[in-house]
Structure 1
Amino acid sequence: MTAVLNRLTADDDLFLKLHDLYGNALVNQLAWRFDESLDPAVLERFHAHLAHGFLARRVMTTSVPFARPWWVSAAVSEPLAYQEEPVDENGVLDWLFAQSRVEFDPITGRVWRLSAAPTTTGGTLLSLVTSHVSSDGGAVLYAVGDALRRLDAGDTPDIATSSGRLVGAIPATGLLRAHLTDALGRLRAAALSLRAAFVARDITEPERNPRPEEPRRLLPDTYSAADLVVEVDAAEWNSIATAHDGTANGLMVGVAVGILGRSGRIGDGSSVRVDIPHSMRGLDDPRANATTGLPISVPYRKGEHTDLRQVRTAVKQAARAYADPATTPALQHLQPIQQMLPRFVLGYFSRTAKAPECLCTNLGETGQSVATLAGVRASSVLMRPLLCTGETELFRRLEIGLNLSWSSDGHTVTLAITGADPDRFPTRTALRDHVTDELEAWGLRPRFWA
């Protein structure tokens, strides 16, 4: 009998290879702000449920050529990091960013860390940082939601009865046959992907703008991307979007394009490539990463608002195109071949690889499903990608631009914004100036986290 293994997807594989090249350059963060104090013992129990759940996974490899690595449950995890010293209100963003300083290892299963600290106002900050190798945003929310439910129910931490049951295990028999079957399947998939890519050879994606070489600031050798969290009344946000014949999602895209323009990253009349993550996660989906990206092209006109009607049309068209293999770009069809490439080959291609020019993630109200911990409801829930401190020249070479994550609890819109171009967003203050100008130009009144 052939064992059924939870194989790494093409996205898992890509993130794993990028981890080998760049280490923990990119992590995801789910963060909570509580106005009340949380009992450290409760946090320890929450941590124990996470350690037996969907996030607790490690990569297993095989020597069978072309057979994919697979996931099994991890027996180890980073311990709960509880800081005794209270965090001042003006240090919240710095504390949250500091939680990105962690060394993950997908092979051992150290791929997430839960951290907490009291605040000087009597509340609690809580951060869950995760490796993108082992989980996308949907996987994190699923794992946390399951852990919170089990915590409320008083369940004993257990892999077999929690979301951890989906991760996988080392089978007692049939492992070699499973690898040989997968290797043959990969070869067939590679052949089919070449045929599909040839058919789709004339289908193109929106192009990104090259990063302007000037001005080039005199900066230190290392750089921390400028990050902000800003809140806006949801009613105000929705009203402005409607007034411009757009959606809440479209207004996020419009704001992002405007910030890029104000920073000088793009020129007047340019068309910006905006990548919009779209979840493909299903019920009891065992995949670590189950997200695709919808690329759209958005024109920028200096001194004008982004056309939100055009954004809405572009998003719909991109969603239709990516739902049909016949209109999917050739590169997307080649993922089976990408997984077969050795890491040194990916390292060669990575020399010219570029990061997204503009990434806009709409989380909707999904964060509210994990807002309550042991009966205490968070005043704010935040999810965002975190770009860790790295070499300034690496940020320039990868041409990283602007990341926005949008979420709402129905009353307040929370935007997590990261400007990662060292010469356009050298400091948090510089980013804040551009964000303030853009939001106020739309008639929005921002409230910034300190």
Structure 2
Amino acid sequence: MDRLSVLDEIFLRSHRGMGTPIVLQGLWRTAEPVHPALLWRVHRDLRTGPLGRRVARSRVPGARPRWQPNESAYPFTMTQEPIPVAAILDWADRQGDDLNPETGPGWRLSAARLDDGGCVVALTCSHALADGRALVLAIDNALAGIPLAAPVAGHSDWADARRMWATVLGGTARALRHGIPDRPTSPPPRKALSGSRTGLATRSTVLEIPAREWNRVAVAHGGTANSLFVHLIANMLWASGFPSGTIAASLPVDTRDEPRVDNDMSMTEVAITRADTPASLRAKARAAYEHRMTSPGGIPEEILQVVPDRWAYRLAKGAGERDILCSNIGNLPESLLSLGPHACTGVAARAIHPGLRRDALPRTRLSGYLSRIADTYTLSLVGLDPDAIESAAALTKLAEATLGELGLRATPW
């Protein structure tokens, strides 16, 4: 599809300051330098692939914006001087700056030499262009030199506008037969933060856990790898001082039925209490996946695409945000374990929030991203409560302590 989805436009508005900025990132570590020529080739294939696009607005009222090919891109860059291994995530966080899916470029490929003789490579992409699974598809195909199919051209702007207005007006009329729906509730206000209003708002860490041990603990608690993940993130939040006895968790769900580089996902949620275990969360998550988050009162979600941006932002403000985000990206293809002839010592996938201000934090206080490649689970964490989690080191310590209570040991990056 060459038109933006509702979700695409929600992420697009965040780039204009309407919502929480979200950028996705894949990270690769190697024990030796990666030859720049290899990464230049990957950059070329990404530029001409499905990430090489930008948003084109329509002048027809009600017609959705269209994806337009855009081969202009930030050049591939590699640091001239090695950076400390301890500064990997600080460097990686900066790679999300100045991405714009509307004017382009919406993605960046970059690398840094490390002071231990190794290298870190980052592919960073606006969430408007792709979700986590899509980013994996894009880089996997670029590394293999296999082009992905281009989006199928859609209807004309006038035809798209007629279809959108018919969907919105017809669906709204049907919904109103059951009465006027309740006004969407705004997320609870965050407490005033100490310190500078413009200081660093997020803390990040990445840890690796042997898959065999993770799965052993999950089975021992009657859960799955995913329910153990949700249990872990919730208990980390409580350990950080979260006062409520119930935590609302947002769980992204991959909905694609074929490989596509887009946002093909929906959101669901579970309510977690201190009495929950990986076993009980397994049942809760299974039930939640049958009931995805939808617009209130049956009003078609497409209404967000035909009203002005600021109205749409108010209607969808906080949509999908809960106390924690638990994004299980799943199994990564083992082809990502190497960059050409260079074996990778670590592979991570996560989201970052460039430009997020301390006075504009979302409801979400802790985000977790879990992926598995070969025999390793990689847990990427982003803290969004700088008063409760004051530093990246504090976040790492919190994760290690909570994992330790489950009998798990992790290796930080």
TM (normalized to structure 2)?
Answer: 0.90
Quick check: 1:280–1:290 contact (8 Å CA) kept in 2?
A: yes
Quick check: 1:197–1:329 contact (8 Å CA) kept in 2?
A: no
Q: 2:200: which partner in 1?
A: 223
Quick check: 2:181–2:297 contact (8 Å CA) kept in 1?
A: no
C-alpha distance in 2 between matches for 1:66 and 1:137: 29
Over 3 Å counting, the alpha-carbon distance change for 1:246 and 1:281 in structure 2 is same
Quick check: 1:361–1:406 contact (8 Å CA) kept in 2?
A: yes
C-alpha distance in 1 between matches for 2:186 and 2:283: 19
Quick check: which one's helix share is greater? 1
1:249 paired to 2:226: yes
Q: 1:36: which partner in 2?
A: 32
1:360 paired to 2:312: no
C-alpha distance in 2 between matches for 1:331 and 1:120: 56
Quick check: 1:273–1:358 contact (8 Å CA) kept in 2?
A: yes
1:416 paired to 2:380: yes
Q: 2:258: which partner in 1?
A: 283
C-alpha distance in 1 between matches for 2:316 and 2:330: 33
Quick check: 1:12–1:134 contact (8 Å CA) kept in 2?
A: yes
Aligned-pair RMSD on alpha carbons? 2.8
Mapping for residues 44-443 of structure 1, pairs under 5 Å: 44-100=40-96, 102-150=97-145, 162-163=147-148, 165-167=149-151, 178-194=156-172, 197=175, 210=188, 213=191, 216-219=193-196, 221-267=198-244, 270-285=245-260, 288-300=262-274, 306-322=276-292, 330=296, 334-349=300-315, 355-366=321-332, 368-395=334-361, 398-443=362-407
Quick check: 1:402–1:418 contact (8 Å CA) kept in 2?
A: yes
C-alpha distance in 1 between matches for 2:175 and 2:351: 31
Q: State the Cα deviation string for residues 203-262 of structure 1 (Å, max 9, x = none).
A: 99xx99846638x53345322301111122211111111111001111110011101101
Over 3 Å counting, the alpha-carbon distance change for 1:212 and 1:141 in structure 2 is closer
Amino acid at match of 2:94: A
Q: State the Cα deviation string for residues 419-443 of structure 1 (Å, max 9, x = none).
A: 1012212222332332222111111
Which consecutive residues of structure 2, in runs of 5 or more, have no partner in the other structure? none
- Percent of pairs with identical residues: 27
Which consecutive residues of structure 1, in runs of 5 or more, have no partner in the other structure? 152-161, 170-174
TM (normalized to structure 1)?
Answer: 0.83
C-alpha distance in 2 between matches for 1:200 and 1:40: 61
C-alpha distance in 1 between matches for 2:90 and 2:389: 17
What displacement does 1:83 show?
A: 0.7
C-alpha distance in 2 between matches for 1:431 and 1:203: 41
Over 3 Å counting, the alpha-carbon distance change for 1:236 and 1:195 in structure 2 is farther
What displacement does 1:282 show?
A: 2.8
What displacement does 1:333 show?
A: 5.1
Amino acid at match of 1:406: L
